[in-house]
Amino acid sequence: MNNDNVLIEQEESGTVKSEKLWTVPYITLISLGTFVGISFYMVMPLLTKYAIKLGSSLPIAGVIVGMFSFVALFARPVSGIISDRLNKKVVFIVSTALIGLSLLGYTISTNVTVLIFFRVTHALAFSVNGIVNLALVSKFIPRKRIGEGIGYFGLGQIIATAVGPTLGLYIGEKYGLSVSFLIAGIIMICVSALMFALPNTKHKKESCEKQKRRICFSDFIAMNVLPYAFFGAVFSMLNGVIGSYLVLLGDERGIKNISLYFTVNAISLILVRTFAGKIYDKYGISTVIIPSFILALVASMFIGYAQTLAIILVASALKAFAQGSGQPTIQAECIKMLPEEKSGVATSTYYIGADLGQGIGPMLAGVIASTWNYKIMFVACAGVFLVSLILYLLFQHKKNFSLQQKI
């Protein structure tokens, strides 16, 4: 009997996974997801320059780069349905191949219109790919170790953010921008081919019947997951604000080598990802989320008042511990709240919050900074985390009270 049939029979009998985490499919999905991330970050720092090279103005080039997040945002709900209703392995392969074709399309773009077409295609495919990847990997993680499993899975993206931009810039400067896009595209085509080695994952028989029913609102957005999506958005908001304005803050205050922030942040993220999930699995979400809110609040205040690189680096470590424990914990909780066959909509609902935080946060922060200054902007970010902490405590209190009433 082959592995695919064993997995299907286990799922149909309700004995899907053992307590073993480091299985071949799990390791494979982490590796493949890392390469998807590397290809994304390879092209990200090059697109503005490439669009201008094709004849775009600087503002239009900025729109072409920024439209990715907004296209992905609107695609998230549909991506969740696709992940839940169709075979996840097939969706993963097709979406990865489309990413590869989009990247190859960048290399043959002769004008801005063609570039926009491939950019939109890239965003749509990437949206589906990210959701089905997380939903698929959750099927190979023991339910009792979901926090730990999601935490380790996120390490691949940290590696991608460190390797991708450096690799893309090096190739682009030495061989040309088109060569960077070409190599990134070839990587994705190879990854999509390797995905055929993954075992098939099919729903339980009763879940297949649910797939035949008409599509309803709950297939697009999981309402009970929305509060956690909001809390996830808050962490993404700070990430976007720091990424957009930290270098400008350093220039204004004369803080040299402020880019070291990102190095310390990456190292700290790797460290915290190794144990935060285990704490969540053993003690529950509040044990992780409450300290995460507090650490993010303190990190925001430190950056707001920092006049030296040392304070910035301390803030970097604090922010990494907050984000590196808070975000994967929220992801794991969202997946855990719904049945396994609804992992797609759980994931897509979480990402809606993450996309909104990443997109709207820097916009509002820019208004605050231009009206007042960077200190007020980061103090405002700290205020957002304080309010979020209070809302979380109220939400958990109401949730616990409702459970007691039912008992």
Helix 374-406 / helix 226-253 crossing angle, nearest 10 deg: 160
Evaluate whether 13 touches 158 at the Cβ level (below 8 Å).
no
pLDDT of residue 213: 60
pLDDT of residue 228: 94
Lowest-confidence range among 39-48, 87-96, 290-299, 369-378? Answer: 39-48
Tokens 């720091």: give the residue: 242
pLDDT of residue 16: 44
Cα–Cα distance for residue pair 285/279, rounded to 1 Å: 9
pLDDT higher for 3 or 34? 34
The mean pLDDT of 253-276, rounded to a whole number, is 90
Q: Domains of the chain by range and CATH?
A: 19-201 (1.20.1250.20), 221-406 (1.20.1250.20)
Q: What is the pLDDT of residues 164-182, one digit of tens each?
A: 888 888 898 899 999 999 9
Mean pLDDT computed over every residue of the chain: 86
Cα–Cα distance for residue pair 148/145, rounded to 1 Å: 5
The mean pLDDT of 326-330, rounded to a whole number, is 93
Tokens 């064993």: give the residue: 6
Cα–Cα distance for residue pair 382/260, rounded to 1 Å: 22
pLDDT above 50: residue 372:
yes
Q: What is the pLDDT of residues 105-140, one digit of tens each?
A: 999 998 999 999 999 999 999 989 988 998 888 888
Cα–Cα distance for residue pair 301/295, rounded to 1 Å: 10
Pair of tokens at residue 212: 């035949």
Residues 125, 128, 131, 132: what is their CA dihedral angle, to the nearest 10 degrees?
A: -100
pLDDT of residue 8: 41
Pick from 369, 366, 374, 361: nearest CA to 237: 361
Buried b (16+ CB within 10 A) or exposed e, 94-117: bbbbbbbbbbbbbbebeebeebbe
Pick from 313, 320, 277: nearest CA to 147: 277
Evaluate whether 353 touches 77 at the Cβ level (below 8 Å).
no
The mean pLDDT of 334-355, rounded to a whole number, is 87
3-state helix, strand, coil in the chain (%, to 5): 85, 0, 15
The mean pLDDT of 326-342, rounded to a whole number, is 89
pLDDT above 70: residue 11:
no
Q: What is the pLDDT of residues 65-93, one digit of tens each?
A: 778 877 887 888 888 888 888 888 999 99
pLDDT of residue 7: 40
pLDDT of residue 60: 83
| Band of pLDDT at residue 143, cut at 50, 70 and 90 | confident
The whole-model pTM stands at 0.79
Lowest-confidence range among 74-78, 218-222, 355-359, 368-372? Answer: 218-222
Residues 6+ apart with CB under 8 A from 185: 39, 100, 101, 102, 103, 104, 105, 106, 107
pLDDT of residue 303: 97
